[in-house]
Chain A
Amino acid sequence: MGSHFLPAQVKKMDTLVFQPMFGDSTLVLSTYSYKLNDKDSIQFDVLKFYISGIEFLNKGKPVWKEENSFHLIDASQEKTMSVILKRSSSIICDQIKFNIGIDSTINVSGAMGGDLDPTKGMYWTWQSGYINFKLEGISNVCKSKNQEFQYHVGGYESPFNAFQTVTLDCKRSNKIEIDIKELLSGIDLSKQDHIMSPSAEAVVLAQKISKTFSVQAQ
């Protein structure tokens, strides 16, 4: 990432596509089983995450910022993976910046609507706060009941603030990939099959998540 820096005049880039991947293949929920190595496999049932505060930069300066920028990307609903940006004119930019998750201000502001509505399944009920990132599935590696794993990553208060900001170089492309294989390479599924509340482990996982996003040149 970032090895070839291409300042790009982005003309009609008014849609961003967030594409979940498993290595080189696009990630499909439930029906597919992916190989972790020669003998272990994995299947995914839920992948949902918030993208917020989308912004474009040129030479480090913001050139365009989305208002009210909160998007729930849900791998089970393809249309949520395309984020339509309401931009009137073309802009010149060399970087895109966004957050994974919901900032602390929104987290303490009560009931929200739209993609932030608590019916979206991304709000903890027994302790206030948004789940920034949710990944669930099964793998023979897991020692848990039914070989399930569940990662609900969130937390807005220090020292367990899991909110992450990502800045990527634009590459004349509107496609941002998130590689779950890369993410899992940093987790020992046999030891850590669930994270369900704000904690030090959640923060570590959030940092790993932020490193699996990349812009793919087309």
Chain B
Amino acid sequence: MKNKISIFILIPVLLSAFMQMKMRLFETPANWPKPQYDFSKNPLTEEKIELGRALFYDPILSKNNTISCASCHSQYTAFTHVDHALSHGIEDRIGTRNSPALMNLAWQKIFMWDGAINHLDVQALGPISNHLEMDEKIENVVAKLQSSKIYPQLFLEAFGDSVITGQHTLKAISQFMLTLVSKDSKYDSVMRKQAAFSSQETNGYKLFQKNCGNCHKEPLFTNGEFENNGLTVDTLLNDYGRVSISKDPNDSLKFKVPTLRNVEFSMPYMHDGRFKKLKQVLDHYTDGVQTSKTLSPHLQQQIKLTSNEKVDLIAFMLTLTDKKFLFDQNYSYPKHILLSSRKK
């Protein structure tokens, strides 16, 4: 009798604990669209996420073991490269593009400024083998992981197999990146009716919806499309964006619309990091837009903003800062794994 009762109590307790664990791993916030990532092909588990986190922070992924993913994607700047217009990679070689902020990647269907990468799982292959970034081969990465002290055990715990493969390595890195969800900014609290905008922010929000919202679409603050927002071509870099992948002239000068979440910290801005301040971005949209064949229809009409309106618009953009995301311990350097490995 006593046993029966305890089982009856235990089942709901266990169930809810299980549900909570599931909830913590990944959750689609209310009123957000369905994620693009197919979780059924790579179901999240604590072990895999932790393994992916270790890999993300471990310079073992680069040729001379000096550069990790986090070197160019640092948490405190929303996983972009601190203060570098063009990312610096191995031996300080300078890349050709600004590293984008990483967040809400589960909702993204195509990656890189020009959409060169078609799936989050294969994203990491780019930087690992890019001569300017980590300059390593996935074959060698797998061999190094296999002969390390910690990874065979971590892969065993995560995938039930201590034989390390490229597939498992990549899927683990994806798992960690999928958990990088930013959804707790002031803007989100206002939408959930748990907070209110100041009058300045309210005005900024209206201006945003009118002038920017078509491309930087709520709630992700990107429509996921490639657009030409009227930047002039940098004649040193000669980067024409999407066309280099699609080879379709209609895609000339189009770049992936970046999210504006945490934009306060993701400077410098644009694919080549040409702007340091949000004010400069707004000056571009009001006065700097270059007309060309592929300029987005949303920018055909000049955007007009007074200097006060620009201040308001920036005040609104700052409500997209998500402190919880920027300081979430679950996303930070995994000392408990990587430092223990240094111990002989």
Q: Residues of A with Cβ closer than 8 Å to B?
A: 107-113, 116-121, 123, 125-129, 160, 199
B117 touches A111 (CB 8 A): no
CB-contact partner of A118 in B42, B118, B120, B167, under 8 A: B167
Number of A-B pairs whose CB atoms are under 8 Å? 68
B139 touches A127 (CB 8 A): no
B118 touches A108 (CB 8 A): yes
B166 touches A111 (CB 8 A): yes
- Cβ of B142 within 8 Å of any chain A Cβ, yes or no, is yes
Q: Known: A110-B174, A111-B122, A119-B142. Contact between A126 and B116, CB under 8 A?
A: yes
Complex: how many Å from CA A81 to CA B257?
A: 46
8 smallest beta-carbon distances between A and B, as pairs: A110-B121, A119-B166, A111-B170, A111-B121, A128-B118, A113-B167, A125-B129, A125-B125
Q: How many residues of B contact A (CB 8 A)?
A: 27
B116 touches A117 (CB 8 A): no
Residues of A within 8 A of B122 (CB): 110-111, 118, 123, 128
CB-contact partner of B167 in A108, A112, A125, A129, under 8 A: A112
Complex: how many Å from CA A113 to CA B122?
A: 12
- Cβ of B128 within 8 Å of any chain A Cβ, yes or no, is yes
B130 touches A125 (CB 8 A): yes
A sample of 11 more A-B contacts (CB under 8 A), given A110-B42, A118-B122, A126-B129, is A110-B41, A110-B119, A110-B174, A119-B138, A120-B166, A125-B126, A125-B128, A125-B129, A126-B126, A128-B118, A129-B118
Complex: how many Å from CA A35 to CA B155?
A: 49
A113 touches B165 (CB 8 A): yes
For residue A115, give the distance in angstroms from its CB to the closest CB of chain B. Answer: 11
Residues of A within 8 A of B117 (CB): 127-128
Residues of A within 8 A of B41 (CB): 109-110
Residues of A within 8 A of B53 (CB): none
Q: Known: A110-B42, A111-B166, A119-B165. Contact between A127 and B174, CB under 8 A?
A: no
In the complex, the chain A residue whose C-beta lies closest to that of B142 is A119
B245 touches A111 (CB 8 A): no
- Cβ of B261 within 8 Å of any chain A Cβ, yes or no, is no
A121 touches B119 (CB 8 A): no
Interfacial residues of chain B within 271-329, with CB under 8 A of chain A in the complex? none
Residues of B within 8 A of A127 (CB): 116-117, 245
For residue B250, give the distance in angstroms from its CB to the closest CB of chain A. Answer: 14
A128 touches B174 (CB 8 A): no
- Cβ of B48 within 8 Å of any chain A Cβ, yes or no, is no
Complex: how many Å from CA A113 to CA B165?
A: 8
In the complex, the chain A residue whose C-beta lies closest to that of B128 is A125
Residues of B within 8 A of A107 (CB): 118
Complex: how many Å from CA A85 to CA B308?
A: 73
For residue B43, give the distance in angstroms from its CB to the closest CB of chain A. Answer: 13
Interfacial residues of chain B within 113-164, with CB under 8 A of chain A in the complex? 116-122, 125-126, 128-130, 138-139, 142
